Amino acid sequence: MLTVAVLISGTGSNLRALLEAARLPDFPARIVVVGADRDAEGLAHAEEFGIPSFTVPFRAYDDREAWGEELGRRLDGWSPDLIVLSGLMRLLPGSLVARYSPRIVNTHPAYLPEFPGAHGVRDALAAGVEQTGASVIVVDDGIDSGPILAQERIPVMPDDTEETLHERIKPVERRLLIDVVRRIATGELALTH
């Protein structure tokens, strides 16, 4: 059974989808802990599902490296096989990525390598593209530049706003993430640097 730690910053919609999938008897992974970089709404999902959680507030540390050291210490306590960044809106320090690589995956609301960074949906709309997408990648020391594990195209509608487009991307992200975690757990998908 693959053990998974999930890190969040916000509402945790991808986390909730993973928790629901992991509740199914035939799902080959279980979430052992949920962590956050602030008092995130999504921590309520962990509580509801009886999953332990922790918070390592980014602002409580002098720099990203010190924050990453504490985050790593907390994660080490659970020895996860896989770490899922599920809306964590912080770049992990390189030392933490190197320590767990390639066992960290992330979702992104664009068809990478198109539109990396924190504003993938806004950037796709600004570029006037006809389609964007959702991706699940291995986290490396770049910005959304790691190996792509799964992705799918999503059309951009003429009347799309950032919000409406993002709402159409989210269910695809969730489905891809659940499938990637399942395939990693069954050995169908190998993680590489």
Query: Could you tell me if 155 and 133 are in contact, meaning their C-beta atoms sit under 8 angstroms apart?
Result: no
108 is annotated as an active-site residue? yes
Q: Which of 45, 108, 166, 193 is catalytic?
A: 108
How would you class 113 by CB atoms within 10 Å of its CB: exposed for 0-12, middle for 13-18, buried for 19 or more? exposed
Phi, psi of 60 (to 5 degrees): -80, 0
> Which strand (E) or helix (H) includes residue 30?
strand 29-36
Cα 177 off chain centre by: 8
- Determine contact, residues 57/37, Cβ cutoff 8 Å: yes
- The residues that are catalytic are 108
